[in-house]
Amino acid sequence: MRFPIIAGNWKMNTTVTEAVELVDKVRKGIGAGFSVEIIVCPPFISLTAVKEALKGSAIKLGAQNLYFEEKGAYTGEVSPLMLAGLCEVVIIGHSERRQYFGETGEIANKKIGAALKAGLKPILCIGEKLEDNEAGRMSEVVTEQLQSSLAGIAVPADLVVAYEPIWAIGTGRAAHGKQVNETAALIRGVLAELSNQETAQGIRILYGGSVTAENIAEFLEQSEMDGALVGGASLKADQFINMVEQAEYIYFPNNPPTKDLIPW
């Protein structure tokens, strides 16, 4: 079984104080009895404080980016060595990095390599632009992104891939579950070519893009989907908790949470 993930990408939101308040609420709201993997990705500057606030909790901590060099004269960058020991997970190749900071498949490739070398678990983000989607180029773009980001890398079974169509991110216009499931199957096929069937079957594929407590079930119920990477809605503690609880009901129906779903 692939263990499902609900991950929150807080992006450039929350001060250190707000980040700690948010994670405290999430931690208390979720309690201890959950089976899905929960990851929160606050801004770099809050990682230490959030790590402290998560002491003793199974909620995992992730960074939103890294630089591929280990150290040196790279003003303003954060290296894999700085993150190792502080967090377990790192988001790589997010479309906002590609769009606003010129990140290419080649850069994502170096970052994945550097993350793995430092013992960090990457969540590799891929997804097509609206014009590519409308021109029927989704498969081509997604395939190319996977091939370039993973070129020359021994793909680990604990890699996580987040399919995030750019037109769905922060727009309130989420993709449809069935459509996302077909894309996830395509992604798994490309991953099998880049590694092997067994590894590809173990890799978790998440959906991201305007996921909310209202629509998350549609994605989680798909056979090829293994969870969600949530942006905006992960900043609201009650909504994030609710999404985790829905995931518990969907993935572990024989072991549902003992309390009722928390409304958001």
Q: What does the binding site for ligand PGA look like in residue numbers (CB under 6 A)? A: 9, 164, 169-170, 208-211, 229-233
Is 93 or 113 the residue whose CB approaches ligand PGA more closely?
93
Catalytic residue among 94, 128, 245, 248: 94
Q: Active site includes 176?
A: no
In the complex, the smallest distance separating the C-beta of residue 10 from ligand PGA, rounded to whole angstroms, is 10
In the complex, the smallest distance separating the C-beta of residue 97 from ligand PGA, rounded to whole angstroms, is 10
Q: Active site includes 164?
A: yes
Q: Which two tokens stand for residue 13?
A: 């939101």
In the complex, the smallest distance separating the C-beta of residue 149 from ligand PGA, rounded to whole angstroms, is 16
Q: Which two tokens stand for residue 158?
A: 């604990």
Instruction: Give me the residue whose beta carbon is nearest to ligand PGA.
Output: 231
CB 78 within 8 Å of CB 70:
no
Residue 98 and residue 119: Cα distance in Å, rounded? Answer: 24
Is 43 or 232 the residue whose CB approaches ligand PGA more closely?
232
Residue 230 and residue 40: Cα distance in Å, rounded? Answer: 10
Catalytic residue among 96, 128, 164, 245: 164
Identity at 91, one-letter amino acid code:
I
In DSSP terms, which residues pair with 6 in a beta bridge?
A: 38, 228
Residue 244 and residue 234: Cα distance in Å, rounded? Answer: 10
Which residues are marked as active site? 94, 164
